[in-house]
């Protein structure tokens, strides 16, 4: 029995499918595996080169869930800018994502999600679907069984409150006076992660204004008791932190009724200035869809008409998140990932043997150099003396470069033989300096900010969905440590502190938690190559434990997979249907740990070569990217191409940077 799921919430218990694979040294059919790997890598190189944009970048679709599409329709309804073609196309996509039980999941093969199902249902009502149609009746019945609208998350109920389907009084309060909190005061806006900060600032305006647009229909069918649609919430124990913040929220509701008008007006204007100052050149905010949606609503409530340049640019940017499919359906991306995809594609092609001066790699390097961010952003609130020099994830996001992208871009640029060597070296030097300067006090790295670890934001009743802070993670720290090692900084104090933190964070079983990818397979695939690059030998106890764990969770088909439920249920850790990206992550760790000539690696490589499609690509319906662990999952459509090619390339050609650092025991 393989350790896979059947695509439903009632999947086979992964513990019943534990692998029992041999892991002893073996050269059986090694020549055949190597030859197949060479052929697969050649096909993959051809496929990936064919997907490069003429400007030099790569970008795969970024699929999440239908809440993006539903909220896009709700925004258009709120602003009065619906058009039939968009509504029809969005409705077609949302209907196509509905499961057989009437629900909508947040990832492929996952269980129905209450808030996603409510938002999708409402969007289809806006698209003209009748509540008595079978697919709608199934959805409504399931919603009622789960507790109805009252049991949904805060953000869903905010959207419903905009149309009078929920009472503003029954939502947590978020006052715009937060803008006045200095950075040393708990719950100031810089205590939140950048994605949460960009969402919360505009929502303080929405919370203060409490707008209601006339609802085009009622939603009685989504309440367990239409006569009492807003039932009281169960109070938390008074002595708990949740109880403290519930009492604070009640006090803020009282304050809402008596807030001095002049003070509130000044606070909302401060929020508006903050929002406008952070609008990117393409009209978006932070390169991600949710903050852009809420920023447009907030500015509209403050009197900015739809023809104002800020609003017009914002709305135009939202249209660029739309992916139109051949069947006429319209999917909304939560974000776009060209910098991330381009640096990973560059690494993959170089490691697969494409010449360092190949025109495609030089063109990619040129594009990445043009995307370098050389001005301060919100990160400089915590690091005011640090010179800029990083890269963001998206096309336009100068306010929020991220540490992970910067590390991987440096690794990509280092692989390219560019004619302007001085320009490459200067950019790498700035990126290295910025990454080192963004190290947190504990020796590790978060994604966007340093020391973004306050415990208070997660306690707010408002924050019942996803991560709202940006603490250091093993995967980001691993990438930075790998980059620093390859740049010759293995002995740098920052690198040593990063290694020490990683060693303390290793799970007892041998893996590392994956914050931005699913999950322990991703974390382990990120950390092991970094530790080896920084000087730990394959015989180091931590490396041995990691190798042992990876080999123990290999599926019977030779691949690796890990279900998203591993974030909420330990039994899923390291278990799930084999995927191309997760198999590649495991192989990258094993290859770095000098396990190339083992049965486990041979079987993993064979799985990749056997599942490759005729055009050199791989198919991967499963979500292996993470926005918020469990709450928000991502299918990066290019992951299934770049990571398998990197793994095959290193299997065939070896790690291009192996041996550049001295091997040491027992760091």
In a domain, 8, yes or no: no
Answer yes or no: do 55 and 152 share one domain: no
Query: In this structure, what are the phi and psi dihedrals at residue 45, rounded to the nearest 5 degrees?
Result: -60, -45
Query: How many distinct structural domains can be found in the chain?
Result: 2
Answer yes or no: do 205 and 259 share one domain: yes
Its domain, for residue 569, covers: 29-60+337-453+471-653
Instruction: Taking residues 310-321, report their average pLDDT.
Output: 95
pTM of the model: 0.92
Answer yes or no: do 42 and 108 share one domain: no
- Map residue 312 onto helix, strand or coil: helix
Asked if 103 and 112 touch (Cβ cutoff 8 Å), the reply is yes
What tens digit of pLDDT does each residue of 412-446 get? 999 999 999 999 999 999 999 999 999 999 999 99
Q: Is the pLDDT of residue 3 over 80?
A: no
Answer yes or no: do 403 and 366 share one domain: yes
Catalytic residue status for 404: yes
Answer yes or no: do 292 and 343 share one domain: no
In a domain, 9, yes or no: no
What six digits make up the tokens of 445?
A: 């790295």
What tens digit of pLDDT does each residue of 366-407 get? 999 999 999 999 999 999 999 999 999 999 899 999 999 999
In a domain, 133, yes or no: yes
The CA dihedral of 67, 71, 72, 73, to the nearest 10 degrees, is 110
In angstroms, rounded to a whole number, what is the distance separating the alpha carbons of residues 329 and 87?
A: 10
Answer yes or no: do 499 and 591 share one domain: yes
Instruction: Taking residues 167-175, report their average pLDDT.
Output: 94
In a domain, 229, yes or no: no
In a domain, 667, yes or no: no
In a domain, 658, yes or no: no
Query: 284, 316, 332: which is the final residue of a domain?
Result: 332
Answer yes or no: do 509 and 617 share one domain: yes
Among residues 404, 405, 475, 563, the one annotated as catalytic is: 404
Answer yes or no: do 180 and 316 share one domain: yes
Query: 288, 311, 332: which is the final residue of a domain?
Result: 332
Answer yes or no: do 358 and 503 share one domain: yes
pLDDT of residue 28: 46
Answer yes or no: do 515 and 382 share one domain: yes
In angstroms, rounded to a whole number, what is the distance separating the alpha carbons of residues 530 and 527?
A: 5
In a domain, 16, yes or no: no
What tens digit of pLDDT does each residue of 517-538 get? 999 999 999 999 999 999 999 9
Q: Is the pLDDT of residue 10 over 90?
A: no
In a domain, 367, yes or no: yes
The continuous run of DSSP H or E covering 272 comes out as helix 261-277
Answer yes or no: do 312 and 365 share one domain: no
pLDDT of residue 661: 47
Query: 332, 367, 398: which is the final residue of a domain?
Result: 332
Answer yes or no: do 279 and 348 share one domain: no
What tens digit of pLDDT does each residue of 85-122 get? 999 999 999 999 999 999 999 999 999 999 999 999 99
Q: Which residues contact 385 (CB under 8 A, 6 or more apart)?
A: none
Instruction: Taking residues 330-343, report their average pLDDT.
Output: 96
Query: In CATH, what number is assigned to the domain containing residue 133?
Result: 1.50.10.20
User: What band does 316 get if pLDDT is binned at 50, 70 and 90?
Assistant: very high
């Amino acid at each position: 029995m393989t350790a896979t799921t059947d695509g439903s919430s009632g999947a086979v218990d992964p513990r019943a499918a534990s692998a029992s694979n041999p892991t002893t040294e073996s050269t059986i059919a090694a020549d055949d595996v190597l030859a197949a790997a060479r052929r697969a890598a050649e096909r993959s190189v051809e496929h990936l080169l064919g997907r490069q944009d003429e400007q030099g970048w790569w970008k795969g679709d970024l699929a999440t869930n239908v809440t993006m599409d539903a909220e896009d329709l709700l925004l258009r309804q709120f602003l009065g800018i619906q058009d039939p073609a968009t509504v029809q196309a969005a409705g077609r996509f949302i209907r196509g994502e509905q499961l057989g039980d009437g629900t909508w999941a947040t990832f492929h093969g996952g269980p129905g999600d209450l808030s996603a199902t409510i938002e999708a249902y409402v969007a289809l009502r806006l698209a003209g679907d009748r509540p008595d149609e079978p697919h709608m009746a199934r959805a409504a019945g399931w919603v009622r069984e789960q507790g109805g609208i009252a049991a949904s998350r805060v953000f869903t109920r905010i959207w419903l409150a905009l149309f009078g389907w929920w009472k503003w009084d029954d939502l947590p309060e978020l006052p715009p006076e937060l803008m006045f909190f200095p950075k040393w005061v708990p719950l100031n806006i810089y205590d939140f992660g950048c994605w949460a900060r960009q969402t919360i600032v505009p929502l303080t305006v929405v919370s203060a204004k409490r707008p209601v647009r006339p609802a085009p229909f009622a939603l009685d069918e989504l309440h367990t008791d239409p006569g009492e649609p807003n039932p009281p919430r169960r109070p938390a124990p008074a002595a708990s932190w949740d109880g403290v913040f519930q009492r604070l929220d009640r006090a803020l509701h009282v304050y809402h009724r008596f807030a001095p008008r002049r003070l509130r007006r000044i606070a909302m204007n401060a929020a508006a200035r903050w929002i406008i100052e952070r609008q990117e050149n393409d009209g978006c905010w932070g390169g991600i869809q949710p903050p852009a949606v809420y920023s447009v609503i907030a500015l509209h409530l403050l009197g900015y008409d739809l023809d104002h340049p800020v609003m017009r640019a914002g709305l135009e940017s939202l249209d660029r998140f739309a992916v139109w499919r051949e069947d006429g359906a319209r999917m909304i991306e939560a974000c776009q990932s060209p910098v991330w995809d381009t640096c990973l594609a560059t690494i993959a092609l170089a490691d697969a043997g494409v010449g360092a001066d190949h025109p495609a790699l030089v063109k990619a390097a040129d594009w990445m150099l043009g995307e370098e961010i050389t001005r301060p952003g919100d990160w400089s609130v915590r690091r005011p003396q640090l010179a800029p020099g990083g890269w963001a994830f998206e096309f336009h996001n100068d306010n929020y470069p991220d540490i992970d992208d910067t590390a991987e871009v440096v690794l990509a640029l280092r692989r390219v033989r560019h004619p302007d060597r001085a320009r490459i070296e200067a950019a790498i030097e700035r990126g290295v300096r910025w990454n080192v300067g963004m190290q947190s006090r504990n020796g590790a790295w978060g994604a966007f900010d340093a020391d973004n670890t306050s415990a208070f934001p997660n306690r707010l009743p408002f924050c019942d969905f996803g991560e709202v802070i940006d603490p250091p993670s093993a995967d980001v720290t691993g990438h930075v440590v790998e980059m620093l090692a390859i740049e010759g900084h293995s002995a740098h104090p920052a690198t040593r502190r990063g290694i020490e933190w990683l060693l303390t964070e290793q799970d007892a079983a041998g893996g590392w938690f994956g914050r931005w990818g699913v999950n322990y397979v991703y974390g382990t695939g990120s950390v092991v190559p970094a530790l080896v690059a920084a000087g730990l030998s394959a015989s180091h106890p931590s490396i041995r434990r990691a190798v042992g764990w990876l080999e123990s969770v290999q599926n019977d088909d030779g691949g690796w997979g890990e279900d998203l439920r591993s974030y909420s249920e330990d039994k899923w850790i390291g278990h799930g249907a084999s995927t191309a990206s997760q198999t590649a992550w495991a192989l990258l760790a094993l290859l770095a740990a000098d396990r190339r000539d083992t049965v486990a690696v041979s079987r993993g490589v064979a799985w990749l070569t056997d599942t490759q499609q005729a055009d050199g690509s791989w198919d991967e319906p499963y979500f292996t990217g993470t926005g918020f662990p469990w709450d928000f999952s991502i299918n990066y459509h290019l992951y299934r191409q770049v990571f398998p090619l990197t793994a095959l390339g290193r299997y065939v050609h070896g790690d291009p940077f192996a041996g550049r650092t001295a091997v040491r025991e027992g760091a």
